[in-house]
Structures are given as C-alpha cells and as structure tokens.
Amino acid sequence: MGDLSAAFALALDLVLSGDPALWEVVALSLRVSLTATALACLFGIPIGAALAVGRFPGRGAVLVLVNACMGLPPVVVGLLVYLHLSRAGPLGFLGLLYTPTAMIAAQCILIAPIVIALSRQVLEDLHAEYDAQFRSLGLGRAAVVWALIVDGRHALATVALAGFGRAVAEVGAVMIVGGNIDHLTRVMTTAIALETSRGELALALALGVVLMALALGVNAAAQGARLAGARHAAV
C-alpha cells in the first residue's frame, strides 16, 4: 500500500530531521503518560495488593466495579475531569484546565482501574502461593502487602506497561482536558487527530509510526531493566 510506505518514509524523515516540534510533542507525550503511569501505580498497586489480601464484605462488588472501570471510555474520563477542572467546576480555582497536569490527572484516572485490577489478579495468585509461609512467619497485613509487591515486581512491571500503553495511546481524554494547544498540551495522539482532520493522512500515519516506536522503546527499556535486574540477582 502506497500510503503506508509513504508514511514509514515520512516517519523516518521526521525522526532523522530532528524536527524540534516533533520532539516537543514526543517529550510531552512521554512526560504526561509516564507520570500518569507512575502515579497510578503509586496508588493502584497498594490498593490492588490490599484487595488481593483483604477479605471484607462487599469485596466482590468492589472487584466487579474495578474490572468494569477498566473499560472506561477515555472521552468519558476526559469529560469528568473537565467538569471538575473547569473554572465553573469544583476544582476550577486550581486553574489546571488545559495544562499537562490536567492531562496527567485524566490519564491517571483512566488507567488506575487497569493497574488496580491487574495487580490484584497478579498478587492474589502470588498470595495463594505464599499465604501459608507468611502466616507461619506471623506477618502482619502491611508486611504481607509489601512482600507481595516486592516479589511480584516483574509481573507488576508488566501491569505498569499495560497501563502506560493505554495512557500513551488514548486521545479522547487529553483532547478534552488538554485542548491540544500547540507547544503546551499537544501530544502524539492529539497531533495525530489534528493531522487526520487536516487531511494530512500520511503525516498522521507517520506520527502513528513514531508513537508505536515510542511505545516499543519504553517496553524495550523496561525489558532491559528487568534482564539487568535478573542478572544482578544472579551474580
């Protein structure tokens, strides 16, 4: 397909030419989505671990709710965050609408259910394996949660990557709360949407290729870190 090869050529050209506008957008994409992922993990993994270990009334309902929220449409999350951050909204006084912070908040909310639900699953399996040993040691709840997180770190890294993948690929939420403002809140996905609506399909596709390369790079870096970690532990 001619369009596709043209897009790849254009993508290569964009990257090699070191177009500062491209790097600005790439850097903001990385900053927003990586920060959102880090925040979602900071809160989501302990919550997921608590759900994996804890037994309380209504736990089943909470799990169903969290699992359902994995399918939250980005546009809906964007709207919810917009309604809160709008000057007319309850958090309007913060003046965060149309800033990267608002985009980070939206993506964080978007992927938190994914991080919670997947880490709950991963850590529950691990907990089933460790439970007798941990109770034999007489560990408290917090010590169990922390040990599960430490020992589940490789699986949790994959969970984080899943969250990052969803964050960096979504357009609906950042479009609404970021506004796709040039030099301020324009990220890869909103730039792709913009070029598509300009009819610049090859350029849009080229940006898509760059975005995929970006996701590939982050995943490769994570894999590399994991291998290095494994080698370190093996020494």
Partner 1 sequence: MTARGWMAAIVLLAAPPASAERIVVQSTTSTAHSGLYDHVLPRFERATGIDVAVVAVGTGQAIRNARNCDGDVLIVHAEAEEEAFVAAGYGIERHDLMANDFVLIGPAADPAGVAGLPIADAMTRIAEARAVFVSRGDDSGTHRAERRLWARAGVDAAAASGAWYRESGSGMGATLNVAVGMDGYALTDRATWATFANRGDHAIVVQGDPSLFNQYGIVAVSPQVCPDGNADDAATFVEWMLGLDGQAAIGSYVVEGQVLFHPNGQADAMPMRSRPTR
Partner 2 sequence: MRPSEGAIPLLQARALRLERGAAVPVNGVDLTLPGGGVTALMGPNGAGKSMLLHLLHGLIPPTDGHVLWRGRPLDRLGRRAQAMVFQSPVLLRRSVAANVDFALRSRGVRDAGLRDGLLERVGLAGLGRRPARALSGGEAQRLALARALAVAPDLLLLDEATGRLDPASVAMIEAVLIAERAQGTTILMVTHDVAQARRLADSIVVMDAGRIVGDGPARRFLDAGPRAVPPPETGMRRR
Q: Is 146 exposed, middle or buried (0-12, 13-18, 19+ CB in 10 A)?
A: middle
Work out the angle at residue 165's Cα, subtended by the Cα atoms of residues 69 and 44, and round it to the nearest 5 degrees: 45
Closest distance of CB 127 from partner 2, Å: 11
Closest distance of CB 37 from partner 1, Å: 10
Whichever of 16 and 132 has its CB closer to partner 2, that residue is: 132
129 binds, among partner 2, partner 1, none (CB under 5 to 8 A by kind): partner 2
Among 195, 24, 42, 173, residue whose Cα is nearest residue 106: 173
H/E segment holding residue 232: helix 201-234
Among 127-135, 178-186, 197-205, 211-219, the segment contacting partner 2 (CB under 8 A): 127-135
Contact between 91 and 120 under an 8 Å Cβ cutoff? The reply is no
Closest distance of CB 135 from partner 2, Å: 6
Among 38, 223, 50, residue whose Cα is nearest residue 123: 50
135 binds partner 2 (CB under 8 A): yes
29 binds, among partner 1, partner 2, none (CB under 5 to 8 A by kind): none
Distances (CA, A) of 119 to 44, 95, 105, 109, 181: 8, 33, 20, 16, 34
Among 92, 113, 87, 99, residue whose Cα is nearest residue 31: 99
Taking CB under 8 A as the criterion, the residue among 87, 95, 133, 142 binding partner 2 is 133
Q: 137-196: which residues touch partner 2 (CB under 8 A)? A: 137-139, 143, 147, 150-151, 154
Among 26, 37, 27, residue whose Cα is nearest residue 161: 37
CA gap 207, 200 in Å, rounded? 11
Taking CB under 8 A as the criterion, the residue among 132, 183, 197, 199 binding partner 2 is 132
135 binds, among partner 1, partner 2, none (CB under 5 to 8 A by kind): partner 2
Intra-chain end-to-end CA distance of the chain, in Å: 49
Contact between 207 and 186 under an 8 Å Cβ cutoff? The reply is no
Residue with tokens 């001619």: 2
233 binds, among partner 2, partner 1, none (CB under 5 to 8 A by kind): partner 2
Binding residues for partner 2, rule CB under 8 A, total 18
133 binds, among partner 1, partner 2, none (CB under 5 to 8 A by kind): partner 2
101 binds, among partner 1, partner 2, none (CB under 5 to 8 A by kind): partner 1
Closest distance of CB 126 from partner 2, Å: 9
233 binds partner 2 (CB under 8 A): yes
234 binds partner 2 (CB under 8 A): yes
Per CB under 8 A, residues contacting partner 2 are: 129-130, 132-133, 135-139, 143, 147, 150-151, 154, 230, 233-235
